[in-house]
Amino acid sequence: MILNQAMRPRSAMEETALPWEEIHRWFRETFFDGEELEATQTTAQRLSPVSAAHRILSNSFGLIPFGVYRKDGEARVAVDDPYLAQVLKVRANEYMSPFMLRKIVMSNAFWHGFGAVWNRTDSAGHVIARIPLPTECCTIRKDVENGVYWYDYSVDGFQKSFSNYELSFLYFETYDGIRGRGLLELARESIAADAMAQRFSKKFYQNGARLSGIIEVDTDASSETRQKVKQEFRSFASDDAFAVAVLDHSMKFTPLGVSQSDAQFIESRGFTVEEISRFSGVPKHMLQTGKESYNSNAQQRLNYVTDTLLPYVVQWESEDSYKLPGPVQRQAGVYIHGNVEALLRADPATRADFYVKLIEHSVLCPDDARAKEELNPIPGGLGKQFLANKALGSLESVLKGEEMNG
């Protein structure tokens, strides 16, 4: 009997710690069948930091409301355009809300480098629907005669070519303004390394956190005997993990052990989280890692809005301001504006401090702040006065040097 409940004195056991470099090839053949893991979308979606970054970015962009405004001298006034209001605030198309449209566009940009929306118009030129197009079904074609770029889409047997003006684009990253670069291309090596680490981690613990080893016998063994020893020892190592193996017939077991420092290979996945954070712009604490303080996390979230999200918002504003209003509206100063302040909605303390600073410096009047909170104006028109710092007197009284109240 090969394995037993007790250790016999004549059994010989020797443990040899091998460096990681020497068993790396064996490790790949054992756990990965020798293949390289590519950073495909399917592979990346299984990785928690990549999936989290995708979810946070797409949801954040989807949350930002966009409206139609017009420049009236120095003032900015809301424009009541029923067609644009319908697609921007009520229903982007028959099947999805404006939130879902923006989420899908950011998702396409995240994975494939850019997301595109078909601004479908009626015979009068009014935008009546906004339809997100699958980037993976797009072929970019340049007309050699006039240098115009065309975007050819083939979806479920349906083919259509669009001019640049018919589509609104959101780029994750681009070097030429035509072709985009998504996270898969930018972080390909990091994603592949993390996929291998995750796969190794699963196999490592399924195998009792051990890499098995080599059994030596002092005589020639037939193929049947070798297979029998191998199967019985494999069953013992997996089913009775951390138990004691008993060898007879002068067998010797040499485990291929992983040293303590090599075992930290699994912990190196934390490094990949930092890499994904750098590539995506999503702070580490939002990916559920890092040990920064609350104030540090709050500052990082503010940086996320201003440094990561705001460039996408401005890019989308520019696209839609040129492609949604008609030529006459554009000439009249009509434009599209996104309100990133909506992301502060869930943080009352930060939102209140934000309004206080804007009111103190006469950026907003109290009624402007109340309107953003969907509250009624202060009765009597008192909220329309702009206030200034220094006891919050009115701007006029501060300029005149009058004594402040209170």
Residue 323 pLDDT class (50, 70, 90 cuts): very high
pLDDT tens digit string along 133-162?
A: 999 999 999 998 999 999 999 988 889 999
Q: Average pLDDT of 335-360?
A: 80
DSSP-derived letter for residue 404 is P
Residue 245 pLDDT: 57
Residue 406 pLDDT: 43
Residue 150's alpha-carbon distances to 153, 197, 321, 356, 394, in angstroms, are 10, 41, 21, 49, 56
Residue 225 pLDDT: 73
Residue 296 pLDDT class (50, 70, 90 cuts): low
Residue 231 pLDDT: 72
Q: Which of 66, 91, 90, 92 is closest to 79 using CA atoms?
A: 66
Of residues 94 and 362, the one with the higher pLDDT is 94
Q: Are strands 213-216 and 167-171 parallel, antiparallel or unpaired?
A: unpaired
Residue 48 pLDDT class (50, 70, 90 cuts): confident
Task: Classify residue 121 by burial, with Cβ atoms within 10 Å: 0-12, 13-18, 19+.
Answer: middle
Within 10 A of 326 (CB to CB), how many other CB atoms are there? 17
Q: Average pLDDT of 41-52?
A: 72
Is residue 359 within 8 Å of residue 351, measured between CB atoms?
A: no
pLDDT tens digit string along 363-399?
A: 888 888 888 776 788 888 888 888 776 655 665 665 5
Is the model's pLDDT at 70 over the cut of 50?
A: yes
- Give the tokens for residue 236: 């013992």
Q: Which alpha helices (DSSP H) does 222-326 contain, by range?
A: 223-239, 260-263, 269-280, 294-303, 310-323
Is the model's pLDDT at 330 over the cut of 80?
A: yes
Residues forming a β-bridge with 70: 77, 334
Is the model's pLDDT at 400 over the cut of 70?
A: no
Residues forming a β-bridge with 162: 151
Within 10 A of 242 (CB to CB), how many other CB atoms are there? 8
- Give the tokens for residue 400: 């005149």
Using alpha carbons only, give the angle 258, 262, 268 rounded to the nearest 5 degrees: 140
pTM above 0.75, yes or no: no
List the strands of the sheet with 66-72, edge to edge.
75-78, 66-72, 334-338
Using alpha carbons only, give the angle 227, 229, 234 rounded to the nearest 5 degrees: 95
Q: Average pLDDT of 270-298?
A: 74
Angle between the N-to-C axes of helices 188-206 and 20-32, in degrees from 0 to 180, rounded to the nearest 10: 80
Residue 108 pLDDT: 95
pLDDT tens digit string along 201-211?
A: 555 555 554 44
Residues forming a β-bridge with 133: 116
pLDDT tens digit string along 164-207?
A: 999 999 999 999 999 999 887 776 655 555 555 555 555 555 55
Task: For CA atoms 155, 160, 166, 171, give the dihedral sign.
Answer: positive
Count the alpha carbons within 13 Å of 202 in the hemisphere toward its beta carbon. 9
Of residues 145 and 353, the one with the higher pLDDT is 145
Q: Are strands 252-257 and 16-17 parallel, antiparallel or unpaired?
A: parallel
Q: Average pLDDT of 265-292?
A: 71
Q: Which of 343, 250, 336, 247 is closest to 304 using CA atoms?
A: 343
* Residues recorded for the chain: 406
Residue 319 pLDDT class (50, 70, 90 cuts): very high
Of residues 258 and 51, the one with the higher pLDDT is 51
Is the model's pLDDT at 318 over the cut of 80?
A: yes
CA distance 315 to 321: 10
Is the model's pLDDT at 85 over the cut of 50?
A: yes
Q: Describe the chain by its helix, strand, coil percentages, rounded to 5.
A: 50, 20, 35
Task: For CA atoms 14, 18, 22, 26, give the dihedral sign.
Answer: positive
**For residue 263, which phi and psi values (nearest 5 degrees)?**
-65, -20
Q: Which residue has the tokens 């580490």?
A: 284
CA distance 335 to 333: 6
- Give the tokens for residue 308: 């990561």
Q: What is the mean pLDDT of the chain?
A: 76
Q: Average pLDDT of 221-235?
A: 71
Angle between the N-to-C axes of helices 188-206 and 269-280, in degrees from 0 to 180, rounded to the nearest 10: 150
The domain spans of the chain are: 1-23+212-257, 347-406
CA distance 241 to 336: 63
Q: What percent of the chain has pLDDT over 70?
A: 62
Q: Which of 200, 151, 204, 198 is closest to 178 using CA atoms?
A: 151
Q: Average pLDDT of 230-238?
A: 63
Q: How far is CA 228 from the centre of its chain?
A: 49
CB-based contacts of 326: which residues, under 8 Å, 6+ apart? 125, 126
Residue 295 pLDDT: 63
